[in-house]
Amino acid sequence: MVAARLRDVASSPVRDLLALLERPEVLSFAGGLPAPELFDLGGVREAYASVLSGPRARLALQYAPSEGDPSLRALVAGRMTGRGLPTDAGDLLITTGSQQALTLVATALLDPGAVVAVEEPTYLAALQCFQLAGARIVTVPGDDDGVDPAALGEVIRQHRPTLFYTVPTFANPTGRTLAASRRAAVAEVTADAGVWVVEDDPYGELRYRGEPVLPLAAAAENVLYLGSFSKIGAPGLRLGWVRTRPAVRPALVVAKQATDLHTSTIDQAAAAAYLSATDLDRHVGRLCDAYRERRDAMIGALPSVLPPGSRWTDPDGGMFTWVRLPDGYDAAALLPTALAHDVAFVPGAPFYATAPDRATLRLSFTTPTVDEIREGLRRLGLALRHPDAQADSGTPGTMSGRKPVDSWTRTGQIASGAR
Ligand code: PMP
């Protein structure tokens, strides 16, 4: 029998689904993966070669401090400061991907039974993490502009959460961005109540239009900012970081020691060498150029593919659009039909902490080419017109009996971020 803390934590359907997508003929909009052909393979290869051939080569294979490689921390701090979030190298804890940062934060801050407030829908591996820590999840309503600060205030008054978890910029799964005008209000309402904010920001640099917004952490001291190289570098490096705050830093370092002593020495050294030798902004610019085209191809094709009455987000950046099919559709029931047509997506239900809206699904536009996006969406359109697609057509509303997300606009698209 496994430990009680794991019994109620479901396996990630996204990861399970990825395992089923081995067939090469399937065009997949399912994974939130960066495009592998855009990895800077040459630059990364050189970085590892230089680390392994220089005078400090043997040190790169040695144990290292739990907080992380000092040069990498200094380089990341410089980058964050440049993006408008003043950061000292000493503020940073390097983690094995930002996923580990979530685990460390949960370990350091959450007692069993603690309350965690989240947007809904939200990143499902964060939900897993909080559930594993024995937390009770409560949800905060929002709209096209992200979470509603007044509603957050009400949730805080009612449930006294320890922390509020949010992906405020180009969210997974919705693609939405918390409006600049709301950031100060979210910071204020949480700071006043002594609630930690965990700002998970792996996508913020992948902006395809509009002006950058400052991280939430720039507006208040009670924000733990989580960053990652996965989407701007490569996820296989498994490198992320937390911008800690003094009150919680020692606890996070102890949690890190107990979890894995430290993140891989050689991978950190290679990342530091890479950042010193490369213009990462230029690389991110190339990623944005490619992803913008793919985003445009997907958003442009959706009106002719989805059934009338469907709605979807129109993200300014990131990797995802979030679709709501008309009442009566069940995205999970549609998936086998879609797979039979050699196209894949992720049903939306697992991203909900409470009652799921089963008519929702997530489409990622970053890995397929523009031609593959058009072809994949053509197949999705065929699947949607298949008689099996409307599994729940007799039931008005969604299967859960929940009202559809009321923030969708009537035009079929959700404006997000600056729009
Ligand atoms: N947070 C969010 C919102 C994500 O979408 C992801 C990856 N899909 C992560 C964290 C984990 O990223 P990493 O590779 O840095 O562990």
pLDDT in tens, 190-222: 999 999 999 999 999 999 999 999 999 999 999
Question: Residue length, the chain?
Answer: 419
Q: Whose CA is nearest to atom 9 of ligand 1?
A: 99
Dist. CA 242 → ligand 1 center (Å):
13
Q: What was the pLDDT predicted at 393? A: 44
Q: What was the pLDDT predicted at 212? A: 95
Task: Set out the domains of the chain in order of their start, with CATH numbers.
Answer: 4-38+283-413 (3.90.1150.10), 41-277 (3.40.640.10)
> Pocket of ligand 1, candidates 118, 123, 167, 170: which has the most ligand atoms within 8 Å of its Cβ, to mutate?
123
DSSP assignment of 272-308, as one string?
HHHHHHS-HHHHHHHHHHHHHHHHHHHHHHHHHHSPT
Dist. CA 9 → ligand 1 center (Å):
18
Span 278-290, mean pLDDT?
A: 97
Dist. CA 32 → ligand 1 center (Å):
9
Under the banding of pLDDT at 50, 70 and 90, the label for residue 418 is very low
Dist. CA 99 → ligand 1 center (Å):
6
DSSP class of residue 402? P
pLDDT tops 90 at residue 394: no
Dist. CA 234 → ligand 1 center (Å):
12
Dist. CA 126 → ligand 1 center (Å):
9
Kindly give the number of the ligand 1 atom that is closest to the alpha carbon of 239. 15
* pLDDT tens, residue by residue, 315-332: 999 999 999 999 999 999
Ligand 1 first shell, C-beta below 6 A: 32, 97-99, 123, 167, 172, 200, 202, 228, 230, 235, 240
Dist. CA 109 → ligand 1 center (Å):
20
SS3 of the chain: helix, strand, coil, percent, to 5: 45, 15, 40
Kindly give the number of the ligand 1 atom that is closest to the alpha carbon of 98. 15
pTM: 0.91
> CB neighbours of 199 closer than 8 A, spacing ≥ 6?
166, 168, 215, 216, 217, 223, 224, 225, 226
DSSP class of residue 321? E
Q: What was the pLDDT predicted at 4? A: 78
Q: What was the pLDDT predicted at 12? A: 66
Alpha-carbon distance values, 214 to 46, 177, 190, 333 (Å): 33, 11, 17, 40
Q: What was the pLDDT predicted at 289? A: 98
φ/ψ of 362, rounded to 5, equals -110, 130
Dist. CA 251 → ligand 1 center (Å):
22
CB 348 within 8 A of CB 390: no
Under the banding of pLDDT at 50, 70 and 90, the label for residue 402 is very low
Kindly give the number of the ligand 1 atom that is closest to the alpha carbon of 238. 14
Q: Whose CA is nearest to atom 8 of ligand 1?
A: 32
Q: What was the pLDDT predicted at 310? A: 97
d(CA 196, CA 214): 18
pLDDT tops 60 at residue 365: yes
> Pocket of ligand 1, candidates 17, 39, 96, 99: which has the most ligand atoms within 8 Å of its Cβ, to mutate?
99
Q: Which amino acid is at 299?
A: I
